[in-house]
């Protein structure tokens, strides 16, 4: 369903329980290949493939080394980060390292925590992590002021790479309005952020480049790269720069003016200049965490660079979640028992739908926005907590949907599938008991305005669910409702929708709002690691890309997109965004009447697949044709989600030949997916990426699993010939390198 937008700032540190060593003087700590050496003058953190050194008397990166092959020194004598406080910029070279703590991490590797001195009234901590085999480092800066601190922003990480060719990527969501050829909203102040999901800017070697973005890659003549990734969303404050010598990830809060939620389709406003505008005031005595960054190295830009970041995400940063095939009841809606945004899923409809979901091989059954009696209270629509519009009669349109208040009957009906719930956690219906008891929790002034509109038109569109906006004061209540759903109702999946970041009088700024929400999600994930938290990213400026990707899957596009659009979404964001995190509708609407089921199912394999239509309308013969593919996905989901997805051939929007390949260099396995859309030629040669030299790779057909041949590395690198006699068909091969 269409909802409002969302974003993120604070990132929780993941560390072991006890420090391996703490103190100002020399020691050396090892964990696998990762080592940390601390002396009176220097701090060193590295592993078998990368190393970073800092001076202690003035915090500088004295060495930034890629140790693979012939050592590549990327940076010497550069500052680590900077802070912009008021009108002043303070570089890390103004700070000294007073104390160092080295901690072994629970998921492998070491964390170095440097306590810095030199900024009066502010305790500054620099945190850096390194991991076995990963050519890069995670960095983060923490600030604890003794008095309110006006923070405009700063740099998350810097590297003096010298003369290099820069490439800057900005990743975006917002499929409710973005489409090919999108030129931006009708009314714009500042950058309109046109286009679809990726804006890529380049410059020649040694030429300056600056702009919005989250991924900055620098390459030298031999093709090796150093790159920086900000774990942020796509707010205007997310920027990067290269001045001809130094690359930096920049956070500039003054760029953020307002987030208009679903109205961003019609208007967008940001500060287009470097002139100071908005800033954050950090409260005294509270620790503020800048967004984390990753600084890594690639042996090349196209294959190894994204693999290093993917490996870091998969093994050390990403909150693990089940790669489930899901059903969402959003499309089960003809306003039979609803008037607006709520769906028509009740217990009787669950009983009708569940058998087909099981036959299709789905893992999780998600109830969309009709399950709750009223938003804000977040109780199942049941005799114990009835919908306020119910008149008490058994024939009423608004009679209770479910027989009990903890979904016992629903869970029994859908077993062995797991239960998931849609929520718009930061919104409420003005008729809710919670709002009536705590009107001060609402976000003033905007949330009170939407509450008034909601009350005037209670039954229309999203108003039926509720469009009042909570402020951060409501988060303890929201967290308690989510906790009860997990522990008492056995919910294992949440789809969070209708998110936007706004200023709330007396409760903080839009950035405080985002931080508070994300901190809640992080606490819930830490307490309940088996639960998946999906973010609806169909509006822009929510958490996409990396504040969302690091926490769970997204719901990327509403409606029933055609195959070329579904493929484009994945192809355009690969290899930088894990495609398995992108939630898309499979077998959407009546697409099976226009395209082969095999093709539609092949498209879903490298995404986070959800069936979003009314499952009762899916013909049995389509279910039977799709079931072998869902069984294939279930048997190979680790292989399909563990590696990097590379885009092959041409953009699917051209409707010719296109393809994608996933590959895990560690496990030497992956998959190749090739699609003939409307291309006239019946065959194509597909060069594969990332395949190591000197191997023999066995090829297995999907979904049967039949061994259909083998090829040498050289043959795959030069190109595999794929023949598809019919248009709108696909070939899927599993690739396994022999030992």
Q: What is the DSSP string of 469-509?
A: EB-GGGHHHHHHHHHHHHHTS-EEEEEE-S-----BTTTB-
Domain end (from 317, 340, 371): 317
Looking at residues 247-252, what average pLDDT do you find? 98
Structural domain span for residue 668: 645-737
**Residue 346: inside a domain:** no
8 Å CB contact between 297 and 50: yes
- Classify strands 418-423 and 491-496 as parallel, antiparallel or unpaired: parallel
Neighbouring CB atoms inside 10 A of 681's CB total: 10
Best CA proximity match to 14, nearest among 128, 106, 144: 106
- State the pLDDT at residue 460: 85
**Residue 392: inside a domain:** no
643: left (phi over 0), alpha (psi -120 to 50) or beta: beta
- Provide the percentage of residues in the chain whose pLDDT is more than 90: 91
Separation of alpha carbons 730 and 660, rounded Å: 11
Does the pLDDT of residue 15 top 70, yes or no?
no
Token readout for 439 is 């009107």
- State the pLDDT at residue 21: 58
Query: Does 564 sit behind a cis peptide bond, omega within 30 degrees of 0 on the bond before it?
Result: no
Confidence band of 353 (pLDDT split at 50, 70, 90): very high
Please state the domain count of the chain. 2
Name, in order, each residue with C-beta under 8 angstroms of 613's C-beta and a sequence gap of 6 or more.
Answer: 331, 560, 585, 587, 588, 589
Separation of alpha carbons 109 and 102, rounded Å: 10
- State the pLDDT at residue 683: 98
Phi and psi, residue 3, nearest 5°: -145, -170
**Residue 137: inside a domain:** yes
What CATH number does residue 123 fall under? 2.70.98.60
**98-102, 164-168, 243-247, 315-319: range with lowest mean pLDDT:** 315-319
Residue of 21 and 298 predicted with greater confidence: 298
Burial code (b: 16+ CB inside 10 Å, e: under 16) for 487-511 equals: eebebbbbbbbbbbbbbbeebbbbb
- State the pLDDT at residue 9: 29
- State the pLDDT at residue 1: 42
**Residue 179: inside a domain:** yes
Looking at residues 340-349, what average pLDDT do you find? 94
Best CA proximity match to 60, nearest among 34, 39, 83, 42: 42
- State the pLDDT at residue 262: 87
**Three-state SS for 449?**
helix
pLDDT digits (tens, 9 = 90+) for 361-375: 999 999 999 999 999
Best CA proximity match to 180, nearest among 200, 201, 194, 191: 194
Cα–Cα–Cα angle for 181, 186, 190, rounded to 5 degrees: 90
Name, in order, each residue with C-beta under 8 angstroms of 472's C-beta and a sequence gap of 6 or more.
Answer: 504, 507, 508, 512, 513, 516, 517
Helix or strand holding residue 83 (H, E): strand 82-85
Looking at residues 141-169, what average pLDDT do you find? 98
**Residue 580: inside a domain:** no
Best CA proximity match to 172, nearest among 234, 238, 224: 234
**Residue 562: inside a domain:** no
- State the pLDDT at residue 10: 30
pLDDT digits (tens, 9 = 90+) for 673-726: 999 999 999 999 999 999 999 999 999 999 999 999 999 999 999 999 999 999
pLDDT digits (tens, 9 = 90+) for 618-649: 999 999 999 999 999 999 999 999 999 999 99
DSSP 52-67: EEEETTTTEEEEEEE-
**Residue 570: inside a domain:** no
Helix or strand holding residue 510 (H, E): helix 510-527
Looking at residues 378-383, what average pLDDT do you find? 98
Looking at residues 532-538, what average pLDDT do you find? 97
Domain end (from 317, 333, 354): 317
Confidence band of 13 (pLDDT split at 50, 70, 90): very low
Looking at residues 25-29, what average pLDDT do you find? 69
Supply the DSSP symbol for 398.
Answer: T
Confidence band of 319 (pLDDT split at 50, 70, 90): confident
pLDDT digits (tens, 9 = 90+) for 492-501: 999 999 999 9
- State the pLDDT at residue 225: 98
8 Å CB contact between 658 and 651: yes
Does the pLDDT of residue 478 top 60, yes or no?
yes
Token readout for 561 is 């997109």
**Three-state SS for 10?**
coil
Chain length of the chain: 739
- State the pLDDT at residue 14: 36
- State the pLDDT at residue 333: 94
Rounded to two decimals, the pTM is 0.95
**Residue 396: inside a domain:** no
pLDDT digits (tens, 9 = 90+) for 580-594: 999 999 999 999 999
What CATH number does residue 696 fall under? 2.60.40.1180
Best CA proximity match to 663, nearest among 290, 166, 144, 311: 311
- State the pLDDT at residue 22: 60
Domain end (from 317, 336, 369): 317
Does the pLDDT of residue 19 top 90, yes or no?
no
8 Å CB contact between 197 and 572: yes
pLDDT digits (tens, 9 = 90+) for 266-314: 999 999 988 888 899 999 999 999 999 999 999 999 999 999 999 999 9
Please state, in angstroms and as integers, the Cα–Cα distance from residue 668 to each residue in 33, 244, 393, 734, following that order: 21, 38, 63, 11
Mean pLDDT computed over every residue of the chain: 95
DSSP 681-713: -SEEEE--SSPPTT-EEEEEETTT--EEEEEEH
- State the pLDDT at residue 274: 84
Looking at residues 25-41, what average pLDDT do you find? 89
Q: Which of 188-192, 447-451, 655-659 has the highest mean pLDDT?
A: 655-659
- State the pLDDT at residue 461: 84
**416-430, 445-459, 641-655: range with lowest mean pLDDT:** 445-459
- State the pLDDT at residue 548: 96
């Amino acid at each position: 369903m269409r909802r409002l937008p969302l974003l993120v700032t604070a990132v929780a540190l993941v560390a072991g329980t006890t420090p391996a060593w703490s103190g100002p003087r020399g020691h050396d700590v090892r964990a696998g290949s990762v080592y940390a050496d601390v002396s009176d003058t220097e701090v060193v953190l590295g592993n078998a493939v990368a190393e970073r050194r800092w001076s202690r008397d003035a915090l500088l990166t004295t060495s930034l080394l890629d140790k693979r092959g012939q050592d590549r020194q990327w940076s010497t004598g550069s500052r680590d980060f900077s802070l912009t406080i008021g009108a002043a910029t303070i570089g890390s070279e103004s700070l000294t390292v007073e104390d160092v703590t080295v901690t072994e991490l629970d998921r492998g590797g070491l964390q170095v925590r440097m306590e810095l001195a030199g900024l009066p009234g502010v305790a500054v901590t620099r945190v850096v992590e390194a991991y076995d085999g990963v050519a890069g480092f995670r960095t983060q800066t923490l600030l604890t002021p003794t008095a309110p601190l006006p923070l405009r922003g700063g740099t998350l990480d810097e590297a003096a790479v010298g003369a290099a060719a820069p490439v800057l990527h900005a990743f975006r969501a917002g499929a409710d309005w973005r489409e090919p050829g999108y030129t931006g909203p009708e009314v714009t102040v500042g950058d309109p952020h046109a286009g679809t999901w990726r804006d890529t800017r380049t410059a020649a070697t040694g030429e300056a480049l600056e702009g919005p973005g989250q991924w900055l890659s620098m390459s030298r003549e031999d093709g090796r790269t150093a790159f920086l990734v900000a774990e942020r969303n796509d707010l205007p404050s997310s920027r990067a720069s290269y001045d001809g010598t130094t690359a930096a990830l920049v956070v500039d809060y003054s760029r953020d003016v307002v987030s208009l939620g679903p109205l961003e389709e019609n208007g967008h406003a940001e500060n287009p200049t470097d002139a100071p505008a908005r800033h954050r005031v950090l409260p005294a005595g509270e620790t503020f965490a800048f967004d984390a960054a990753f600084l890594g190295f690639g042996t090349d830009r196209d294959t190894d660079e994204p693999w290093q970041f993917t490996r870091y995400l998969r093994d050390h940063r990403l909150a693990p979640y089940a790669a489930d095939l899901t059903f969402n009841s959003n499309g089960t809606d003809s306003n039979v028992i609803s008037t607006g945004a709520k769906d028509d899923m009740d217990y009787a409809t669950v009983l009708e739908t569940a058998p087909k979901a099981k036959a299709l091989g789905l893992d999780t059954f998600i109830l969309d926005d009709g399950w709750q009696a009223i938003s804000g209270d977040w109780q199942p629509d049941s005799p114990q907590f009835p919908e306020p519009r119910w008149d008490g009669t058994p024939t009423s349109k608004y009679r209770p949907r479910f027989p009990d208040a903890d979904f016992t009957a629903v869970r029994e009906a859908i077993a062995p599938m797991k239960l998931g719930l849609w929520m718009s956690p930061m919104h409420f219906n003005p008729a809710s008991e919670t709002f009536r008891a705590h009107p001060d929790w609402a976000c003033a002034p905007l949330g009170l305005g939407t509450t008034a509109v909601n009350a005037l038109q209670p039954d229309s569109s999203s108003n039926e669910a509720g469009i009042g906006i909570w402020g951060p004061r409501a988060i303890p209540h929201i967290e308690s409702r989510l906790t009860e759903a997990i522990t008492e109702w056995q919910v294992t999946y949440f789809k969070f929708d209708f998110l936007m970041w706004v200023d709330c009088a007396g409760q903080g700024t839009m950035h405080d709002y985002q931080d508070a929400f994300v901190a809640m999600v992080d606490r819930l994930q830490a307490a309940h690691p088996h639960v998946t938290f999906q973010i609806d990213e169909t509006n822009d400026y929510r958490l996409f890309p990396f504040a969302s990707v690091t926490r769970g899957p997204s719901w990327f596009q509403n409606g029933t997109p055609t195959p070329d659009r579904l493929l484009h979404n994945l192809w355009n964001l690969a290899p930088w965004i894990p495609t398995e995190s992108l939630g898309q509708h499979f077998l959407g609407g009546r697409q099976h009447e226009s395209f082969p089921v095999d093709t539609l199912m092949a498209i879903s394999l490298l995404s986070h697949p959800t069936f979003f239509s009314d499952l009762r309308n899916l013909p049995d013969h389509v279910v039977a044709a799709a079931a072998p593919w869902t069984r294939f996905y279930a048997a190979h989901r680790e292989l399909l989600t563990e590696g990097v997805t590379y885009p092959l051939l041409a953009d699917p929007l051209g409707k010719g030949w296109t393809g994608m390949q996933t590959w895990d260099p560690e496990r030497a396995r992956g998959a190749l997916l090739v699609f003939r859309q409307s291309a006239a030629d019946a065959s194509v040669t597909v060069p594969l990426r990332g395949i190591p030299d000197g191997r023999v790779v066995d090829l297995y057909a999907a979904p049967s699993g039949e061994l259909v041949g083998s090829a040498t590395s050289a043959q795959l690198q030069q190109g595999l010939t794929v023949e598809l006699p019919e248009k709108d068909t696909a070939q899927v091969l599993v690739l396994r390198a022999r030992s």
